[in-house]
Amino acid sequence: MHIILSYKSRNIMRRYYGLLFLLTGCAVQTPAVKVQDVRFDADRQPLKEGIAAYDKMDYIYQKDGKDIFKISFGEPVVVAVADKPYKWGFFQFPGLYRSDQGEIVARWNMATDDAESYGKGGAGYAVSKDQGVTWTTIESAPIGGGLKINGGEYISIHTPPAIPLKDLKLPEPIATVKEAYGRTFRFWKVEQLPEELQGVYINRRVTGSDQWALEHNKISEANMVRYSDNNLLPLVWWGDMKLEKEGSIVAGVYPGFTFVNGTVPPSDVAFYRSQDGGRSWSFIGRIPYDYDPVKDPNGGQRLALGWTEPAFEILKDGSYLSVLRTTDGLGNSPMYISRSLDQGKSWTKPEVFTKAGVLPKLQQLQNEAIVLASGRPGLQIRVALDKEGKEWSDPFEMLPWTEGINRNELTCGYPDLLQTGQDKFLLVYSDFQYKTATGEIRKAIKVREITVKLL
């Protein structure tokens, strides 16, 4: 008999099995909890919390009485703990990659969160030689990471330091606006800029090499626009790069600015393809900024940054899927989702499907399960209820919410995913409320192994 438990009942059940362990000294296998489809869409009030998944636990997710997937959460593992209180930007924004030696490497930011820090380093590192079970902090990054492409090479997008406007001789900007955090954005057509401010910077290395070579490569796009952030001009081209079956590389990047009918609309997500290993890039298509005025009432106030931090995945059926952030200085705002059936040339009108979220991370596992991580407030995992990403589960919460804790004091909300098997991956995230052995509250970087089995 399957028993469907309420959130309260599930928490009581977890405490019950923990008490049995304390009384008997024996670990008790917790049965997988059945979870009905209790999806909250964007028309309803936001959940304070999703489905509690703070500790080691198994869930079976149901829809219309049918088992859809089983998700298993490992215990949170501490990668590193800050040695003192840090301000925003430090000891957060974590990422994962695998080194050439097979180690799993965790990286986190150790710099201020503004354009002044771009391209200047400032990071902490730790490595695991046992698939994320134990971690050792290290001083410098092991060689690895990047997108593996045909020919045994790896490439990654490079962000150079932002250039002070006073050091440049530029024409008058074609537009000037204030973005939601209060910064001034100025815009120039790329063709008006010096050659070094055009194109994209790419790091490249061959398998076995311990050196990255920096390249300055061409982008072919009519009416492309670059911006300055206050008094700095950054050279950013952020997003996901994916390898198509025939070997071409597709990048979905932001902020995408273009000159349209005499204006510069709020940033979109632009897609580019390289057929020569990243040495040149051609424009494919874009997801224009087009907000939902009912579900996203702040949308009309975004004058510079519209879509930001896109997650992009090429699904097994060849379709493209993208999830987009809008949260900014106006407060928490929805994430949108869009699809392309013609390899990025055209995209469906973006639809609101969450109340909030930043830096979504989207991956289809080898077993075809599609998983999405995002945060702020909190940190969540969602699983698609189909193989196209059209319907999604309720969020599984990675961190418990605490009364009186501000949304930015729980976690930075930035996750990363690293596939470690056909049906499993590691999740890395920050926990700002970690309590040390001496009772001090410090920022911590954590990982969890998560397994998703389609039923």
Residues 149, 151: Cα–Cα separation, whole Å = 6
Instruction: Domain of residue 188: give its range.
Output: 77-454
* pLDDT per residue as tens digits for the range 418-428: 999 999 999 99
Mean pLDDT of all residues in 212-228 = 96
Number of domains in the chain: 1
Mean pLDDT of all residues in 148-162 = 94
Asked whether residue 161 is assigned to any structural domain, the reply reads: yes
3-state per-residue secondary structure call for 402-448: CCCCCHHHCCCCCCEEEEEECCEEEEEEEEEEEECCCCCEEEEEEEE
- When the pLDDT of each residue in the chain is averaged and rounded to a whole number, the result is 90
H or E element: which one contains 17?
helix 7-24
- Edge-to-edge strand ranges of the sheet holding 351-352: 308-314, 320-325, 336-340, 351-352
Distances (CA, A) of 365 to 59, 317, 422, 423: 18, 13, 6, 6
Q: What is the pLDDT of residue 151?
A: 85
Higher pLDDT, 379 or 33: 379
* pLDDT per residue as tens digits for the range 326-357: 999 998 999 999 999 999 999 999 999 999 99
Asked whether residue 268 is assigned to any structural domain, the reply reads: yes
Sequence length of the chain is 455
Asked whether residue 35 is assigned to any structural domain, the reply reads: no
Q: Nearest to residue 304, comparing CAs of 173, 153, 446, 398? A: 173
Mean pLDDT of all residues in 119-138 = 96
Q: What is the pLDDT of residue 37?
A: 56
Q: What is the pLDDT of residue 427?
A: 98
pLDDT band at 19 (very low <50, low <70, confident <90, very high): very low
Up-side HSE of residue 129: CA atoms within 13 Å toward CB?
5
What CATH number is associated with residue 154?
Answer: 2.120.10.10
Asked whether residue 2 is assigned to any structural domain, the reply reads: no
pLDDT band at 31 (very low <50, low <70, confident <90, very high): low
Distances (CA, A) of 287 to 256, 324, 366, 432: 9, 10, 27, 34
Mean pLDDT of all residues in 128-149 = 96
Mean pLDDT of all residues in 44-62 = 81
Asked whether residue 253 is assigned to any structural domain, the reply reads: yes
Asked whether residue 151 is assigned to any structural domain, the reply reads: yes
Which residues have C-beta within 8 Å of that of residue 247, sequence separation ≥ 6? 149, 150, 275
Which residues have C-beta within 8 Å of that of residue 92, sequence separation ≥ 6? 108, 109, 411, 412, 414, 430, 432, 443
Q: What is the pLDDT of residue 15?
A: 40
Return the amino acid letter for 199: G
Take residue 53 and report the two structure tokens written for it. 């998944």
Angle 308-146-83 from CA coordinates, rounded to 5°: 75
Higher pLDDT, 9 or 103: 103
Q: What is the pLDDT of residue 36?
A: 62
H or E element: which one contains 7?
helix 7-24
Q: What is the pLDDT of residue 27?
A: 38
DSSP 13: H
Q: What is the pLDDT of residue 12?
A: 40
Angle 43-411-230 from CA coordinates, rounded to 5°: 85
Average the pLDDT over each of 48-52, 255-259, 443-447 and give the range with the smallest value.
Answer: 48-52
Q: Nearest to residue 255, comparing CAs of 377, 115, 117, 361? A: 115
Q: What is the pLDDT of residue 34?
A: 73
pTM, two decimals, is: 0.90
Residues 428, 93: Cα–Cα separation, whole Å = 9
Asked whether residue 56 is assigned to any structural domain, the reply reads: no
Asked whether residue 415 is assigned to any structural domain, the reply reads: yes
